[in-house]
């Protein structure tokens, strides 16, 4: 029987499919997904900033059964402690677009855009494929997927070997719109969280080199954001109100760019690989790397704690925690190797308070 409280579905800290783990140095308690008990292979989080849990905390999304060529998008229902393997995806293909309010997910499967909708009641827990859209351009999709603010468009990047295009599918009638062509090496596309006519386009690069970003408005072209960022910048995510962009400068820390006035500021002076923030921006989590050791660190601006203390990588495996605040910022999710294999971990927000 799953342990629940009166406020709703089980939380990871009370669910039987998660077990307690305490960092030996910091004393922070996190909860690790027991993938074996659920019949899952190696797991990974969906990389930040894509939401990978519903706001009510009932569904948690992970990639399971991860191999060199594929990964299975999997939903874990904490209330019934059931596992739903939604779709097997190309490991290098576009990420799914998840609506954190409803749990509806859009994925690219064999060059088709498929929509899956949760049917969760007291006596039924299933996730059904509710729509399939076929379009020739989807055969060339290489990045995305991103969901518009009003939920009626799915954006992506397509590359046919000659031209790289930013496109969207209008869900009500399945029509494809080409926003931009010849966009260079753009490999990130994310809709504004408030304006369905605005997209962030970006070219991510390894931490050792520079990246580029553009802001595009439907029908009006795009403008470069590079001059407004520091020399090295990557790992972007939108402010919830659409007024600016968070970013990571691998040299100097986590910052925010105000799009209206073009002003940027460093919010946290800590060299990082990836990061994420709560909706109000008050708490930030970052994957920090120093002298070959990777850790997961959190700050609220007044105090800083290590969720997972810096530790050496094992062999040739690179640890990418991808910290992501989940379920209405009630917890922090990340990938960890603390038990010598990739798994998904959740730390309750209360554990992150100094």
For the stretch 106-165, pLDDT in tens is 999 989 999 999 998 877 789 999 999 999 999 999 988 999 999 999 999 999 888 888
Q: Which helix (H) or strand (E) holds 176?
A: strand 175-180
Position 316 confidence tier, pLDDT thresholds 50, 70, 90: low
Q: Confirm if 118 and 102 have CB atoms less than 8 A apart.
A: yes
Mean pLDDT of 76-103: 92
Q: What is the DSSP string of 138-156?
A: GGGEEEEEEE-TTSSEEEE
**What pLDDT shows up at residue 281?**
94
Q: Confirm if 291 and 270 have CB atoms less than 8 A apart.
A: no
Of 307, 303, 190, the closest CA to residue 247 belongs to 190
Mean pLDDT of 309-327: 75
For the stretch 171-229, pLDDT in tens is 999 999 998 887 667 778 999 999 999 999 888 755 445 568 888 888 777 788 877 87
**What pLDDT shows up at residue 277?**
95
């Amino acid at each position: 029987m799953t342990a629940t409280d009166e406020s709703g579905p089980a939380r990871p800290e009370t669910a039987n499919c998660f077990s307690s783990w305490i960092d030996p140095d910091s004393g922070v308690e996190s909860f690790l997904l027991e993938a074996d008990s659920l019949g899952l292979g190696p797991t990974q989080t969906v990389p930040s900033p894509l939401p990978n849990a519903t706001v009510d905390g009932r569904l948690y999304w992970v990639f399971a059964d991860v191999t060199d060529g594929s990964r299975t998008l999997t939903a874990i229902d904490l209330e019934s402690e059931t596992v739903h393997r939604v779709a097997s995806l190309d490991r290098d293909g576009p990420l799914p677009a998840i609506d954190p309010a409803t749990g509806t997910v859009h994925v690219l499967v064999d060059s088709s855009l498929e929509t899956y909708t949760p049917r969760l009641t007291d006596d039924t827990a299933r996730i059904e494929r509710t729509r399939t859209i076929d379009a020739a351009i989807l055969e060339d999709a290489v990045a995305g997927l991103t969901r518009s603010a009003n939920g009626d468009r799915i954006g992506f990047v397509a590359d046919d070997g000659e031209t790289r295009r930013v496109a969207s599918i209008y869900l009500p009638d399945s029509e494809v719109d080409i926003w931009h062509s010849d966009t260079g090496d753009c490999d990130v596309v994310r809709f504004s969280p408030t304006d369905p006519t605005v997209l962030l386009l970006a070219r991510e690069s390894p931490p050792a080199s520079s990246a580029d970003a553009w802001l595009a408005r439907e029908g009006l072209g795009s403008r470069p954001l590079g001059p407004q960022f520091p020399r090295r910048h990557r790992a972007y995510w939108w402010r919830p109100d659409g007024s600016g962009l968070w970013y990571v400068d691998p040299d100097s820390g986590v910052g925010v760019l105000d799009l209206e006035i073009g002003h940027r500021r460093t919010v946290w002076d800590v060299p990082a690989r990836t990061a994420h923030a709560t909706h109000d921006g008050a708490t930030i989590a970052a994957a920090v790397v120093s002298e070959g050791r990777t850790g997961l660190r959190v700050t609220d601006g007044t105090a800083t704690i290590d969720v997972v203390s810096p530790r050496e990588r094992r062999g040739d495996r690179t640890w990418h925690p991808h910290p992501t605040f989940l379920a209405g910022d009630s917890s922090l999710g990340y990938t960890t190797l603390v038990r010598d294999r990739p798994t998904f971990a959740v730390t309750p927000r209360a554990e992150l308070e100094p």
